[in-house]
Amino acid sequence: MSTGPSSEKLSLSAALRLVALRVAALCSVLALVSCGSTPETLIWDWSCSQPEQGAGEVGSVKGAPEVLASGTLVTEKTPDAEGYYQIISIAGNRQGIAIKSLHSAGTAIPDNEPYKVDNRIRPSNSGGQLTKAGIGYGLADGSYENLFYASFMSPPVYMVFRSKPPFGMTPPNTEEPTVIFKATIR
């Protein structure tokens, strides 16, 4: 076994490969964090929380809310006639599970037919920030969520429909809790 200059070069070569891999990984993370932002897009920070329920009273908040999901959204820079911005990408996590994809507008997430997402958002000073169709996204564990504004409820609330494999509307593979949703433009 040689311990001369050639093994030092191999170690240096291996170290350089490791550094190159780490730089590539860092670049991938930075690209994900920026979500492909361009001068024609806006970046939003968002979060979805589950409030603690008061004793026997639905909707009463007690204590600090538990964050269910958070991350960034990238939208087109110009709103539509109703003041909504089209979401073009999403990044973040749901309780440590990575959000891997934005569900296509005009389609329903698994187990949530016929409710098709539209992936539109507007600033908070406009009432509900999401539509009743809401945002759809897939998670790294194979589950999906549809976060929406239930304007048909009295009073209106945000809700998230979550479906997990195996799909087929079999509880406990679906859930639909009331949540607190907030999003701001950076």
pLDDT, one tens digit for every residue, the chain (186 residues)? 555 554 455 566 565 555 545 554 444 444 444 445 568 999 999 999 987 765 444 444 456 678 899 999 999 999 999 999 999 999 999 999 999 999 999 999 999 999 999 999 999 876 799 999 999 999 999 999 999 999 999 999 999 999 998 887 666 677 888 999 999 999
pLDDT score of 51:
77
pLDDT score of 153:
93
Amino acid letter, residue 110: P
pLDDT score of 53:
62
Burial label for 123, CB within 10 Å (0-12, 13-18, 19+), is middle
pLDDT score of 171:
66
How do 66-76 and 97-102 pair as beta strands? unpaired
| Three-state DSSP state, 80 | coil
pLDDT score of 22:
56
Taking the model in full, what pTM does it have? 0.72
Tell me how crowded residue 21 is: count the other CB atoms within 10 A of its CB: 10
